[in-house]
Structure 1
Amino acid sequence: MLLRRHRMTAAVAAVLSLAVLATTGVSVAQYFRAESERGRAVEALAAAQTQRDHAQHVADFLIDAFTAADPGRGRATEMRAGDLIERAAGVLQNKSATLEPVVYARLAQTLSYLYFRMDSREEAARQAEIARNAMATVADPPVELLSRQDLVEAGVAVLYDKYTKAAELTSRGVERIADPARFGDPELLQQLWELRVRSAIFLGQPAKAIEYIDTVLALLRARPDHRPEQIDWLRQRRAMIVSDSGNYREALAEMQALVAERRAAGRVNDLNHVEILRLLGQSHARVGNYRAALEVYDEALSTHREIRGDNGRDDRVLMHLYGGMASVYANVQRAPESVQMFRRAIDTARAKYGETSTFMASAYFNLADTYQFAIGDPALAEFFYRRAQQATPAEALGNRAIFRRCLAQVLLAEGKLFEAAYELEGAREELRSVYGGRGSQSDAARINLAELSLRRFDLAGASAFVDGSVLAAGRTSAADSDVVVQAERLSAYFDWNRADGSTIAPPLSR
């Protein structure tokens, strides 16, 4: 029961222990592959001895870290994961003079990555710097160490919302690995590609992100040593990109299959499963299955409480759960619960990330949506759309463009036509640069511009922005309900009503 209640602490120990497993496993494999050639065998045996010595250092480090956590009382497993990692970092600093630079760098890299997973950017950056300085004293660092340094530096870049830098670092880390099928550390391979995918998503490159996911899925599935959790993350991320591109039912089917497989395998009592349930709830909501969405969200919250208890003030997964439930409440006309949940999401995000982050921007954006569509308060909606823009990192181009279009939408509803025109023209160009000329958001921007032109009595201008296919898309899968209304009005006005979306010549051009 103790292990069950403290899975995160156990996970920390397991991740740290990978240093032992990786070094000894790789060196033994290298030794037997080289056995047929005497000269190479001697070199490999010497390398194995060195790696075994390194592994012993790592084992001693782990023992010291757990002992330091609560010496003499055997209660280290009851500590919070963050406290344990902090103690481990202290032990590493105390042993720095006695560790070989390669071992010292490897341990600092491991701590940096753990801090990255906990969204602790200053600590992650400090450990990455320690590893970098240790590596600078090594004449010929192994490829694995160099690639892992690229990984942790990319993780730090992501935490500071520097996605272009993260993309460059992960690309370099992947390129260092000449033969992924035989690379000795599948965990590192997956982590590099995972960060590469995340960077592409935040840079507004969904097609590239899917390409990366398909590539690493094929690489990992071909290896007998991959873990199910690695495949799970990639599948859920792919489903969400597909969903964000408008293919909601395809994404829902994939998430339902993934949850069913995890339940059948008994993998349901960890935070990864909470996140997967959240995404399943989001997928249900996007196709209008609001009752099913709330049931899944409730299950996710219950599982989260079982794992973490009341310790969720700065929890990223919990923030998204609150946000997802708030969106569903808004769609079923339960505005008070919606606002309450969004406020919880915002408080959680602020405690974890401060005022500027992708997560904080999303929380403000969703609250603005609630005020605009569920409550009907355009002034507050405008306020929170602007807060969303202010909170958006500079490199999150896709989100920034979408938020700008939505701000323009509410300005249009308020009758602020000149401000709306400025924001819409800018949003349209930004959306085109990120997503291309078509797509739900690009189509919505064109419909918004046509609506604005009609309000200015510029009929020719309105007809120039839209055609039958754009209006048909807007009427069936628009970005928001106001766009649906505008698309219906424009379709009726210009007589572009064919069911297949084909264009009928507008009256003014006949």
Structure 2
Amino acid sequence: HELPETPSQRLSKREGEGDPPQEWSRQLKGELDAIVLTCLRKAPAERYRSVDDLIADLQAWLDGKPVQARGGHGWYRARKFIGRHRWSVGAATAAAIALLASSVITYLQSIEAKTQRDAAEAALADAQQQRDRAQHVTQFLIDAFAAANPGGELGKDVKARDILERSAKQLETELSDQPELKAQLLTTIAQGQRALGLETEAATTARLAVELTADSGTEAEREARLALVASAIAVRDIPLARSELGHVRALSRTARQRAELLLAEQGLVRKVGDWDRGQKLYQSFTSDPEIRKGDVPIEDLHKISLNQVGVLQMLRQHEEALKLADVTCVAVLEMAPELQIRCALVRASSLRLLGRLGEALRESEDLLERVRGLYGESHTLYIAALTGYANVLSELGRVEEAVALRRTLVALNDEVRGKDTKSGLLHHYNLASGLLKLRQFDEALIILENITNRARDELPDESISYQYYAIAYGKVLMEIGQLPRAKKVVEDAELDGRREGDSTVMGRYVEELAELSKLITNQLERR
């Protein structure tokens, strides 16, 4: 069966509106052909390793930069070799074609039995289905890229998020007769939206993908539900995340699928702070002999290790965390930039937690510049890198610089993820902590009261954030002499923690709240 047409080939046949077909074909030929065909590879290992890689390639094309999918270096060498040995290569190619043709003829002549004919017909039908599906995907991507053309409907200065938004809207009315294909495209769009910080939009898109594949038992359903799990975690809809994880477990059978399930489980662990469960999940996964023999992509194994570094940090096993980060960072040196950056982030935080602040500062500065160069400032990875840098500055005593960065982070998070999202609570807390070090109590108190109340009312019951913020808020109230108010804040958070949480970290916070409550009570009695 023949391969699907490339975007430049398809566009060269168009006539009528917009740019001349020949001009569009020249604009798309090369980089965008490579991007589309990379998306369509049948084997997972041959496709993009992550949504960030696809987004980076799209943005690189929009910015006029080279794209990874083109694979330039090898082609340039091959092209020069062919130029030097044109006749030899031509003769070898002709011989190979003749040999291949002979082999095909021999094979076709050997197919005589009815069962073999049936198998061939089934394969042909499957190939036709795959071809039709590939052509639909090709056309869908062509339309998305055409809209990004300077003469297209999106106009100039188009961004990756604009393409995703238009594509999601386009799918509302297309491919209704092919629900599985439509779900796969929606899942990919949801992953891209989440990577760009569009968490609410990603959750909406992922829900649509799940609705199209629910109870089908297909890989498309599993991938759609995984996307919804990640989106639900991002918007802190923990009940939905747990419900969808149950479906994903039932659909995860191979080692690769179980690795993807663990990555989703680790995301939930990180959001609710159930670090003990995170430790058990990791140990169970790594001790399973079936996993070592399975088809797990090496990138997924490294992502699992990086998530485990965070678990070890929260369990205060800092030496072990740094060792695991070091091993993983060496292993990902030749892999996707996003994976390298994530590794550098957790390694820098491990250095900071061990008190190796000089090293942490140097790595944080280098990382910040690298992320800015690759993704710009309006990206979740830049927010993470800037947060790590501000953390190091604060511990080095450069508090005023850190506070200035905290204000930038609050505004940047509002811009990327949306104003007053739950993901912004920690940035406000970090700002309040810096203000307290500068003895700016009035603004800090307003922030702490707001985030403590929001954490209590908006976050899941098992989240440790409410207790964490209440400790800081109670200490400040006690320091400025508002003891009755401090006592109520601390006791309410302690009671909530005893009722809702049973993790090691929650237990630690509950004990700290209890000690703080006793201290406040003693001061009240001495009055």
Q: Same fold (TM over 0.5)?
A: yes
C-alpha deviations, 1:249-293, integer Å up to 9, x for none? 221222222223333xx33x6123222212211111112111111
Classify 1:132/1:164 alpha carbon distance in 2 versus 1 (closer, same or farther; 3 Å): closer
Spell out the pairing of 1:367-446 with structure 2 (5 A cutoff). Answer: 367-372=431-436, 374-392=437-455, 393-395=458-460, 397-432=463-498, 433-436=500-503, 440-446=508-514
**Is the 1:329–1:338 Cα contact (8 Å) retained in structure 2?**
yes
Post-superposition shift, 1:64? 2.0
Spell out the pairing of 1:117-266 with structure 2 (5 A cutoff). Answer: 117-135=195-213, 141-177=216-252, 179-181=253-255, 186=256, 188-217=257-286, 221-263=291-333, 266=334
Spell out the pairing of 1:91-106 with structure 2 (5 A cutoff). Answer: 92=171, 95-97=174-176, 99-106=177-184
Partner of 1:302: 369
1:340 matches 2:404? yes
Code of the aligned partner of 1:131: A
Code of the aligned partner of 2:43: L
**Is the 1:128–1:153 Cα contact (8 Å) retained in structure 2?**
yes
Quote the Cα distance in structure 2 between the aligned partners of 1:411 and 1:180. Answer: 53
**Is the 2:190–2:205 Cα contact (8 Å) retained in structure 1?**
yes
Quote the Cα distance in structure 2 between the aligned partners of 1:24 and 1:442. Answer: 49
Secondary structure of the corresponding residue to residue 222 of structure 1 = helix
Partner of 1:312: 377
Secondary structure of the corresponding residue to residue 270 of structure 2 = helix
Post-superposition shift, 1:72? 11
**Is the 1:428–1:442 Cα contact (8 Å) retained in structure 2?**
yes
Post-superposition shift, 1:339? 0.7
1:365 matches 2:433? no
Classify 1:22/1:302 alpha carbon distance in 2 versus 1 (closer, same or farther; 3 Å): closer
C-alpha deviations, 1:54-113, integer Å up to 9, x for none? 42233213422443344499999x97433443454466456415x533323333333333
C-alpha deviations, 1:197-243, integer Å up to 9, x for none? 21233223221223233344556852453223211211111111111
1:322 matches 2:386? yes
Post-superposition shift, 1:39? 11
**Is the 1:24–1:55 Cα contact (8 Å) retained in structure 2?**
no
Quote the Cα distance in structure 2 between the aligned partners of 1:279 and 1:376. Answer: 30
Code of the aligned partner of 2:338: L
Quote the Cα distance in structure 2 between the aligned partners of 1:164 and 1:73. Answer: 38
Quote the Cα distance in structure 1 between the aligned partners of 2:401 and 2:386. Answer: 10
Classify 1:333/1:40 alpha carbon distance in 2 versus 1 (closer, same or farther; 3 Å): farther
Partner of 2:43: 21
Gaps of 5+ in 2: 1-30, 48-112
Quote the Cα distance in structure 1 between the aligned partners of 2:237 and 2:34. Answer: 28
Partner of 1:485: none
C-alpha deviations, 1:311-364, integer Å up to 9, x for none? 322x22222222222222222221210111111111111112234434311101
Classify 1:104/1:52 alpha carbon distance in 2 versus 1 (closer, same or farther; 3 Å): farther
Secondary structure of the corresponding residue to residue 141 of structure 1 = coil
Code of the aligned partner of 1:279: V
Post-superposition shift, 1:458? 7.1
Secondary structure of the corresponding residue to residue 397 of structure 1 = coil
1:349 matches 2:418? no
Secondary structure of the corresponding residue to residue 302 of structure 1 = helix
**Is the 1:9–1:79 Cα contact (8 Å) retained in structure 2?**
no
Gaps of 5+ in 1: 1-7, 26-37, 460-510
The higher-RCO structure (CA 8 Å, 6+ apart) is 2
Partner of 2:187: 109
**Is the 2:228–2:244 Cα contact (8 Å) retained in structure 1?**
yes
Quote the Cα distance in structure 2 between the aligned partners of 1:232 and 1:386. Answer: 39
Quote the Cα distance in structure 2 between the aligned partners of 1:281 and 1:11. Answer: 35
Classify 1:305/1:201 alpha carbon distance in 2 versus 1 (closer, same or farther; 3 Å): closer
Secondary structure of the corresponding residue to residue 377 of structure 2 = coil
> Computing the radius of gyration over CA atoms, which structure comes out larger, 1 or 2?
2
Q: Percent same amino acid at aligned positions?
A: 15
C-alpha deviations, 1:165-222, integer Å up to 9, x for none? 1022112211233x324xxxx3x54433322221233223221223233344556852
Classify 1:48/1:417 alpha carbon distance in 2 versus 1 (closer, same or farther; 3 Å): farther
Q: TM-score, normalization: structure 2? A: 0.69
**Is the 1:386–1:407 Cα contact (8 Å) retained in structure 2?**
yes
Quote the Cα distance in structure 2 between the aligned partners of 1:406 and 1:350. Answer: 23
C-alpha deviations, 1:116-162, integer Å up to 9, x for none? 333323443443344345437xxx72432332232233233224320
Code of the aligned partner of 1:274: I
Classify 1:407/1:23 alpha carbon distance in 2 versus 1 (closer, same or farther; 3 Å): closer
Quote the Cα distance in structure 1 between the aligned partners of 2:429 and 2:419. Answer: 13
The number of residue pairs the alignment matches comes to 421
Quote the Cα distance in structure 1 between the aligned partners of 2:441 and 2:117. Answer: 75
Mean CA deviation greater in 54-63 or 343-352 = 54-63
Spell out the pairing of 1:72-83 with structure 2 (5 A cutoff). Answer: 80-83=159-162
**Is the 1:24–1:52 Cα contact (8 Å) retained in structure 2?**
no
Secondary structure of the corresponding residue to residue 481 of structure 2 = coil
Quote the Cα distance in structure 2 between the aligned partners of 1:11 and 1:451. Answer: 66
**Is the 1:68–1:87 Cα contact (8 Å) retained in structure 2?**
no
Code of the aligned partner of 1:413: E
Post-superposition shift, 1:424? 1.4
**Is the 2:217–2:251 Cα contact (8 Å) retained in structure 1?**
no
Quote the Cα distance in structure 2 between the aligned partners of 1:339 and 1:348. Answer: 14
Code of the aligned partner of 2:380: R
**Is the 2:313–2:321 Cα contact (8 Å) retained in structure 1?**
yes
Q: TM-score, normalization: structure 1? A: 0.72
Secondary structure of the corresponding residue to residue 456 of structure 1 = helix
